[in-house]
Amino acid sequence: MSVSGFTAGRAIEDTMRAGHFLWRLSKGDDPLKAAKSVQKHLFDYQYGLTPFEKKFGRNFMLPFYAWTRFNLPLQLEMLATQPGEVHRGT
């Protein structure tokens, strides 16, 4: 992917983060709680992985490694805390 592709992808992700943050504020969250919700539900692929994961996980271990690495724990948490619930946002 080109530098402009990464830039465009990051801009889209940042827009989604801002929208989620504002949505949580509109639901009554304070800014800190809204920011924590953004961190929890909209994964930071750029800074969230260790150097080892960046080098080997993405390239050699598993396609979509970063997404799986962040999403699987969240899905297991939701399954344990709210089984049977269909999530369309938090």
Per-residue pLDDT for 86 more than 70? no
pTM metric for this prediction: 0.69
pLDDT, tens digit, 9 for 90 and up, residues 37-46: 999 999 887 7
SS3 21: helix
**Helices 3-26/31-41 angle, 10° precision:** 130
